[in-house]
Amino acid sequence: MPEPIIIGTVALDFIETPFGKVENALGGSACYASIAASFFSKPGIMSIIGKDFPNEHIEFLKSRQINIDGITTGEKTFKWQGFYEFDMNEAKTLKTELNSLESYSVAVPESYKDAKYVFLANIDPEQQLKVINTLNNPELIVMDTMNFWIDIKKEQLLETIKKAHILILNDGEARQLFGTPNLVKAARIALKLVSKAVIIKKGEHGALLFTDSKHFNAPGYPLENIKDPTGCGDCFGGAFTGFLTKTNDVSEENMRKAVIYGSVVASLNAEGFSIENLKKINIKDIEKRYNEFKELRDF
Amino acid sequence: MPEPIIIGTVALDFIETPFGKVENALGGSACYASIAASFFSKPGIMSIIGKDFPNEHIEFLKSRQINIDGITTGEKTFKWQGFYEFDMNEAKTLKTELNSLESYSVAVPESYKDAKYVFLANIDPEQQLKVINTLNNPELIVMDTMNFWIDIKKEQLLETIKKAHILILNDGEARQLFGTPNLVKAARIALKLVSKAVIIKKGEHGALLFTDSKHFNAPGYPLENIKDPTGCGDCFGGAFTGFLTKTNDVSEENMRKAVIYGSVVASLNAEGFSIENLKKINIKDIEKRYNEFKELRDF
């Protein structure tokens, strides 16, 4: 059985940054997340593509031992076109073609239904909820989202969050969703909805892990040369859930490690264009940077 | 001999936040810095006040064993009026009355001239430089500044930075002064000017310490109830320099500890209005929070 199972988008990305440009690149939250998870475990994806989806991308996912039984095929693949300006902090969307994603209704393969570890990457919260309701006995549901869904489907989003164990969101989304500029207060509110933990991603400033009794502050990695931050948040969630799946341990202590592995894979991803760096790195590169994270926060 | 010796402003503050209001409060970079340093050592201040300066404030500084021989008296005390909005991130200045600060020329007391440890808190860089040039044999010059001086005295500021050993500035100032959005790149440029280290303060996101070979990422403390962030940056620099003075050890390892002590005192300061919390706390409170910083970073 593939684990973790991951629902999210599969996209063809058109990205431009001050350092390069790419067209029809493999992208989407489920792809970044499952590639990141594949360093630790053998994930399975649920998503939709179109008839125009290049076979090489499918072959690549398979080569990473990512199970694609949960991918269905519609007419045209979801396309995202965006760019980053000099400060590289925020993606500016130029164009979004939802295409087959618009009418997507997830079908969870039989072979996924006993999965214990689940990552709901960024996608319509109603589809995330459908996955939760279809599974037999999920033990850990980790959930990501984005501001888009807070804007247009807040009620359904909160409904889904209530069924998740761990909520991941970035600082701006946390402030927006819970109506406070104070991240500690936002986390307290979120902890009333989810049963286990809340993770607030802060980009270059690291990430915060809140559980009922404890707080963990993960450092950001000092990137001198960011090439393309696309997919960093998805990598974080995928690697986080992949590491927990591999270790089968969701103690607070082990979640701290998982947050660092998430940060490690995200930072490595940002140093390459599109998924190019994810294609190059291996678990040794990840362990090396994990140790660098230890060193840079030691006092 | 008082140490560290500290130059900066002494002000009467008029502050308003969503949580309170205060008038004629003891403020200014030299006051916050010297009070923070006084938890570790016996600092001396160089600054100027006016005849209108309340005697109780002088008595308070003396009660903290802060040497005030370097304070001269002009006509009227520097006054700053500011407020913070809901997000508490940035002080908005309503009114600045420079008063006697406008024509201030620092006079370094004889008893200060052999000081080894020096903190140049935020003030006109020409006065900071004058202090450096007057001292006999300073071993560690730590220097702070603010965007105001980058705007109007950039050349003099850079001249002064070149004579400092450690430069402290916040992320916005680092980006502005060194013309790059990337903090690692900004730090690399700064390290060509100062001989020892660069510290970039990031408010709630912690602080970064860069030396030639290493990088340290200090966490921010998760403050649920910020009352008034006035003086936090000055507290950081004062406690940082005070701790180095006390331990007489400027190794990279000990500077990491000093960064945490700086963050500790700054975070305690933000939990009270004006200097009220600095008046209440003692070294035990500081050590307790230092240990909390350790805990929230462990993985």
pLDDT, one tens digit per residue, over B12-66 is 999 988 778 899 999 999 999 999 999 999 999 999 999 999 999 999 999 999 9
Q: Phi and psi of A49, rounded to 5°?
A: -125, 180
User: Could you give the 3-state DSSP secondary structure of residue A258?
Assistant: helix
What digits encode the pLDDT tens for the residues A177-187? 999 989 999 99
Q: In the structure, what pLDDT confidence band is assigned to residue B270 with cuts at 50, 70 and 90?
A: very high
Q: In the structure, what pLDDT confidence band is assigned to residue A92 with cuts at 50, 70 and 90?
A: confident
CB-CB contact of A225 with A275 (8 Å)? no
Q: Phi and psi of A79, rounded to 5°?
A: -125, 135
The whole-number average pLDDT for the span B237-252 is 98
Burial (Cβ within 10 Å: 0-12, 13-18, ≥19) of residue B51: exposed
Cβ of A183 and B202 within 8 Å?
no
Identify the weakest region by mean pLDDT among B90-99, B110-119, B249-258: B90-99
Location of structure tokens 């140093």: A271
| Set of chain B residues whose Cβ sits within 8 Å of the Cβ of A299 | 216, 218, 256-257, 259-260, 294, 297
d(CA A56, CA A77): 14
Q: In the structure, what pLDDT confidence band is assigned to residue A138 with cuts at 50, 70 and 90?
A: very high
Q: What is the pLDDT of residue B163?
A: 98
- Interface residue of A85, A184, A205 to substitute, partner B, most B CBs within 10 Å: A205
CB hemisphere CA count around A172 (13 angstroms) = 8
Q: What is the pLDDT of residue A85?
A: 76
| Residue A171 pLDDT greater than 80, yes or no | yes
d(CA A176, CA A158): 13
- A233 to chain B nearest CA, in Å? 18
B220 has a chain A CB within 8 A of its CB = yes
| Set of chain B residues whose Cβ sits within 8 Å of the Cβ of A88 | 181
Q: Give the residue among B67, B48, B64 at the shortest CA–CA distance from B10.
A: B48
Cβ of B217 and A297 within 8 Å?
yes
Identify the weakest region by mean pLDDT among A61-65, A110-114, B93-97, B109-113: B93-97
Mean pLDDT (chain B) is 95
The whole-number average pLDDT for the span A18-45 is 95
A89 has a chain B CB within 8 A of its CB = yes
d(CA A132, CA A46): 12
Q: What is the CATH number of domain B5-295?
A: 3.40.1190.20
Q: What is the pLDDT of residue B226?
A: 86
Q: What is the pLDDT of residue B213?
A: 87
Interface predicted TM-score (ipTM) of this complex, two decimals: 0.86
CB-CB contact of A239 with A13 (8 Å)? no
Question: Tokens standing for B268?
Answer: 């305690």
d(CA B180, CA B162): 19
* Closest chain B residue by Cα to residue A201: B205
Q: Which homologous superfamily does the CATH classification assign to the domain defined by A5-296?
A: Ribokinase (3.40.1190.20)
CB-CB contact of A150 with A177 (8 Å)? yes
A297 has a chain B CB within 8 A of its CB = yes
* Closest chain B residue by Cα to residue A256: B299
| Residue A20 pLDDT greater than 90, yes or no | no
Cβ of A184 and B222 within 8 Å?
yes
Q: How many interchain CB pairs under 8 A, A with B?
A: 87
d(CA A77, CA A104): 11
CB-CB contact of A53 with A78 (8 Å)? no
CB-CB contact of A262 with A239 (8 Å)? yes
CB-CB contact of B41 with B154 (8 Å)? no
Q: How many CB atoms lie within 10 A of CB B81?
A: 17
Residues 6+ apart with CB under 8 A from B207: B199, B200, B201, B218, B220, B236, B259, B262, B263
d(CA A22, CA A19): 10
Sign of the C-alpha dihedral computed for residues A264, A144, B222 and A181 taken in this order: positive
Task: Give the pTM.
Answer: 0.92
Identify the weakest region by mean pLDDT among A43-52, A139-148, B79-88, B235-244: B79-88
d(CA A221, CA A263): 8
- Where are the domains positioned within chain B? 5-295
> Which of residues A92 and A75 earns the better pLDDT score?
A75
d(CA B148, CA B154): 9
